[in-house]
Amino acid sequence: MFAHEFRKKSVKIIENNGGNNNRSNYNNKTKPKWNVEILINFLIIRNMKHFAKYDCLIGTLLIESDDEFITKIDLIKDIKLLENIDFEQNSLVFSDIKLWLDAYFVNKQILINPKIKFIGTKFQKLVWEGLQKLAKFGQTITYKDLANYVISKNKQSKMSCQAIGNAVGKNPLLIIVPCHRVVGTNKTLTGFSCGIDAKIKLLEHENILLDKSGDNRLKWKIV
């Protein structure tokens, strides 16, 4: 049962058990019990995780939702980990992210971003926000670029690129928050949570879709 369906049922139960002005009903000891049970069950369902999967050129993505927002997209390296997961392929929030991923992997006409929610520290959220704003399709940025973004937002005098790198490495929303487009200052390919091979495939994919060639191609170095 999805959260929005549960809300409707909860409201009906509250109305049926406490919707009149009869004082004897108001004092009925079972009424608070019903409300507490409804509240507890609602909070449980509200915090439930929902899952879908998506197969793409870098492997199988596991998509996580709270039934309203996409909260995590990760590459699954061991398919056996998916065996005991119940997938919900047809919910609206999963339909939206799949349309977005289809657009990304099939053509460069990226749709409006689906509803996502960052779960992390204030600093991490700022870095992930910077990734979305600076690292456009078919372009790369550096950790220094992200550091300058954070400096401008926080009005700081300096920012550690290592701290930026740690936040980028904890990005929970693969591809849609494009941490694969971050390279070193000298265009070197640095760490990527899904592995350097996956990073190269995504960058090459964007090169091909944009028909980039020669000096216009995205360039990087492997060290």
Sign of the dihedral defined by the CA atoms of residues 189, 193, 199, 201, in that order: positive
Instruction: Strands of the chain (E only): list them.
Output: 50-56, 59-65, 70-76, 141-142, 182-183
Considering only CA atoms, which of 133, 193, 198, 136 is closest in space to residue 165? 193
DSSP letter assigned to residue 59: E
DSSP letter assigned to residue 115: P
Considering only CA atoms, which of 80, 84, 81, 172 is closest in space to residue 120? 172
Q: Which one of the listed residues 56, 161, 179, 194 is annotated catalytic?
A: 179
194 in active site:
no
Active centre residues (catalytic): 179
